[in-house]
Amino acid sequence: MKLDLFNKQWIDIVFEGRNKAYGAYKLRQENSKNNVRAFIIGAVIFALAVSLPLLISLIPESKDEASIDQKIVTVKLPPKEQPKDLPPPPPPPPKVDQVKFVKPVVAKTEEVVEDPPKIEDIKDKKLGDETIKGDPDAPLTVEPVGNGPSNVVEEDNQIYNTAGIEVKPDFPGGMTKFYSYISRTYSAPEDCGSGRVFVTFVVEKDGSLTDIKVIREVCPGSGKEAIRVLKSCPKWNPGEQNGKKVRVLYSLPITIQGQD
């Protein structure tokens, strides 16, 4: 007998005398049907995979992509408006008489030097630091408008510290000569012991010493004498920063020999 796998008779021969209610018998009964179904599904998937590139090429391109390729048009902006010329300043007021204004001060009668002006004297007149005779009929002149100074250099009045200055101030001839000057000119007060008077001062741009302060003194009067000596001191060589003379704060101890 020729064996036919698609024929279900061999299944009955194999399961003769066995429990056909078992799942294996049912699987064998539906085996041919499952094979045919799997072949059809596989064929359909294969056909789709082969024909997919052809189907994609047949789809027309979107109109949005075609509209992207457009010419770039250059738009020329209008020129900026130039600022209008500013109007000239108004002419100065006519020249009138000016009366010196004397500030009212509470003082004794014999100390009064000058009386303040009366109301009749200052009517239709300006007040100033001195009395000036005006000329109402003088012609009015207006100076032409200029551009102002081209290079305005602000004066540096900052007080620098000796720690960050480029060129420190010093006494002409060095500090040895300075202390020699101190020893010659300083007169210690009576009943004052030996010690150090600590002072601070500002070396100005011209080398003069200003803002002299006593931080600590040995005895009463020793700091006052130090201030006197420094005020009569010769001018120092000023400090410099960025090639310019500047004000520098200087701290200094002055050693005195008292009457112990």
Name the nearest CA neighbour of 197 among 210, 207, 205, 188.
188
pLDDT at residue 183 in the model: 87
pLDDT at residue 209 in the model: 92
pLDDT at residue 213 in the model: 92
pLDDT at residue 66 in the model: 46
Q: Mean pLDDT for each 10-residue chunk of the chain (260 residues)?
A: 57 64 65 80 88 81 53 69 70 62 56 60 62 62 60 76 88 90 87 87 92 90 89 92 91 78
pLDDT at residue 130 in the model: 63
pLDDT at residue 227 in the model: 92
pTM of the entire predicted model: 0.41
pLDDT at residue 97 in the model: 63
Query: What gap in Å lies between CA 88 and CA 142, rounded to an integer?
Result: 9
pLDDT at residue 210 in the model: 93
pLDDT at residue 195 in the model: 87
DSSP one-letter string for the chain = ----TT-THHHHHHTTTS-TTSHHHHHHHTHHHHHHHHHHHHHHHHHHHHHHHHHHHHSPPPHHHHTT--PPPPPPPPPPPPPPPPPPPPPPPPP--EEEPPPP----GGG--SPPPPHHHHTT-EEESS-B---TTSPP--PPP----S-------PEEEGGG-SB--B-TT-HHHHHHHHHHH--PPTT--SEEEEEEEEE-TTS-EEEEEEEE-SSTTHHHHHHHHHHTSPPPBPEEETTEEEEEEEEEEEEE----
